[in-house]
């Protein structure tokens, strides 16, 4: 009997390690699913649109299918300056200096700060700019289209710029009036933006679900994907959401779409409006698409819960090494690690930096500084006395921190 009691105590301890409680209920470890990395895409509104662009460019070897952007702008538009972000990158006034931004992208692609831009050529991009959007004006989106056209065939770029919608995700069944600019920044305009994005990126899809959804929403632990397990300090919430169709939960081959909310559109601001009603889930349900809804959070430097596209938390915000960028990348890695054709087991090591370098988990840069391979995250000095944790979340990709949960180990 004492053996059974010990086993029961072990099971309870294990479950506590995998679950916690948030305002949204039980928080679970993000599961693995049978998703190929070839089927990953992103989209977003406003700061989420900028975040989608950052993920698409910086991690183009992972975000292979494409991107949807509503009221966003060119990569590195802000140039790490909040005044440029609020000015030329939103209201269209002043110069965004597109030639300079393009030269920066080319330089970053060449030095590994972002993935090579040649990866973008096979992806598809859907852009939407409302004619009455008063937050991000159409000229900003025009520049984003021009930037993408340097790297993607024009036939792969769709640009919807004739819809009279304010700063919001347009739907055909939920939200404010089309000319309203207010929470939850979802407007009923008789236009299904999410459906158009998904159909452009993935091609022909089955009709969206009209009845009750077959799948489930999960509230997953985001802290596990931050190196220090402290995302709230860096503008990300402790937990995020995902919609998982029943077929995906049962192990069928599925796709993954990451949908980034905009400013004042996270769950703390608008409840479940974005992750339940932005329009993605009914298409996902009938087409085996998991939809990941990561969550940004308010901080003193980020009072509206925006994604970092101007450097409020990290000067490396648009790069592979950006904190929020690595968090999202490792979430994607976690989901696709269950792919039946190419499963992957996360591994981590706590060791000195000399050993990390010797085992090709890290490399030495200028000034004897050490960086994780592929993510380029800073690990400290090249020294046998400098100890750090490094995780391997996908083939050839290493980042600071430990694996996402106890079930990885």
291, β-bridge pairs = 243, 257
Residue 74: closest CA among 140, 157, 169: 140
> What gap in Å lies between CA 77 and CA 82, rounded to an integer?
10
Catalytic residue among 56, 129, 133, 234: 133
Lowest-pLDDT choice from 245-249, 277-281, 346-350, 401-405: 401-405
Quick one: average pLDDT of 14-43? Answer: 80
Give residue 387's pLDDT band: very low, low, confident or very high (50, 70, 90): very high
Q: Which two tokens stand for residue 28?
A: 């679970």
Residue 405 known to be catalytic: no
Q: Which two tokens stand for residue 235?
A: 């503008």
Residue 230 known to be catalytic: no
Catalytic residue among 41, 43, 46, 269: 46
pLDDT at 3 over 80: no
Q: What is the pLDDT of residue 119?
A: 98
Q: What is the pLDDT of residue 111?
A: 97
Domain-wise residue ranges, the chain: 26-336, 347-408
Q: What is the pLDDT of residue 94?
A: 79
With beta carbons less than 8 A apart as the criterion, state whether 99 and 128 touch: no
pLDDT at 24 over 80: no
pLDDT digits (tens, 9 = 90+) for 208-236: 999 999 999 999 999 999 988 899 999 99
Quick one: average pLDDT of 62-79? Answer: 98
DSSP letter string, 144-173: HHHHHHTTS-GGGEEEE------SSEEESS
> What gap in Å lies between CA 97 and CA 327, rounded to an integer?
30
Mean pLDDT for all residues in the chain: 93
Contacts of 113 (CB under 8 A, 6+ apart): 58, 107, 319, 320, 321, 376
Count of helix runs (H) and strand runs (E) in the chain: 12, 19
Greatest CA separation found in the chain? 76
Contacts of 261 (CB under 8 A, 6+ apart): 44, 45, 48, 274, 275, 293, 295, 296
> What gap in Å lies between CA 320 and CA 322, rounded to an integer?
6
With beta carbons less than 8 A apart as the criterion, state whether 257 and 289 touch: yes
Quick one: average pLDDT of 76-104? Answer: 94
Give the sheet arrangement for strand 176-177, strand by strand.
169-171, 186-188, 176-177
Residue 351 known to be catalytic: no
Q: What is the pLDDT of residue 405?
A: 62
**β-strands 254-260, 289-293: how paired?**
parallel
pLDDT digits (tens, 9 = 90+) for 100-145: 999 999 999 999 999 999 999 999 999 999 999 999 999 999 999 9
**β-strands 157-160, 66-70: how paired?**
unpaired
Catalytic residue among 43, 56, 78, 167: 167
Contacts of 54 (CB under 8 A, 6+ apart): 75, 309, 317, 318, 322, 325
> What gap in Å lies between CA 193 and CA 288, rounded to an integer?
19
Residue 29: closest CA among 11, 17, 12, 43: 17
Residue 187: closest CA among 297, 50, 70: 70
């Amino acid at each position: 009997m004492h053996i059974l009691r010990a086993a029961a105590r072990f099971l309870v301890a294990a479950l506590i390690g995998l679950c916690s409680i948030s305002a949204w209920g039980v928080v679970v470890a993000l599961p693995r699913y049978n998703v190929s990395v070839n089927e990953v895409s992103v989209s977003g509104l406003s700061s989420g649109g900028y975040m989608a662009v950052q993920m698409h460019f910086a991690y183009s070897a992972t975000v292979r299918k494409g991107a949807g952007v509503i009221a966003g702008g060119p990569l590195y538009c802000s140039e790490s300056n909040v005044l440029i972000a609020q000015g030329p990158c939103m209201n269209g006034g002043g110069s965004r200096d597109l030639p300079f931004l393009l030269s920066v992208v080319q330089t970053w692609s060449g030095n590994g700060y972002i993935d090579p831009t040649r990866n973008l050529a096979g992806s598809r991009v859907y852009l939407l700019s409302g004619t009455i959007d008063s937050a991000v004006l159409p000229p900003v989106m025009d520049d984003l289209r021009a930037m993408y056209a340097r790297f993607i065939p024009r036939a792969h770029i769709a640009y919807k710029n004739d819809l009279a919608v304010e700063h919001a995700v347009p739907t055909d069944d939920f939200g404010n009036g089309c000319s309203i600019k207010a929470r939850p920044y979802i407007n009923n305009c008789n236009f299904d933006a999410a459906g158009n994005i998904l159909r452009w990126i993935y091609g022909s899809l089955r009709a969206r679900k009209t009845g009750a959804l077959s799948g489930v929403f999960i509230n997953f632990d985001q802290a596990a994907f931050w190196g220090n397990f402290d995302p709230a300090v860096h503008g990300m919430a402790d937990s995020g959401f995902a919609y998982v169709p029943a077929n995906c939960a049962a192990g069928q081959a599925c796709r993954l779409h990451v949908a980034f909310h905009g400013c004042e559109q996270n769950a703390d601001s608008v409840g479940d409006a974005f992750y339940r009603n932005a329009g993605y889930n009914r298409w996902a349900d009938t087409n085996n698409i998991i939809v990941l809804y990561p969550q940004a959070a308010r901080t003193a430097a980020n009072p509206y819960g925006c994604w970092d596209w101007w450097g409020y938390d990290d000067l490396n915000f648009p790069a592979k090494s950006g904190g929020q960028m690595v968090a999202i990348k490792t979430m994607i890695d976690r989901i696709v690690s269950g792919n039946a054709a190419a499963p992957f087991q996360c591994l981590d090591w706590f060791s000195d930096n000399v050993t990390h370098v010797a085992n090709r988990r890290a490399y030495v840069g200028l000034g004897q500084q050490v960086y994780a391979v592929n993510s380029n995250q800073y690990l400290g000095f090249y020294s046998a006395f400098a100890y750090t944790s490094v995780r391997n979340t996908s083939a050839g990709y290493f980042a600071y921190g430990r694996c996402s949960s106890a079930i990885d180990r």
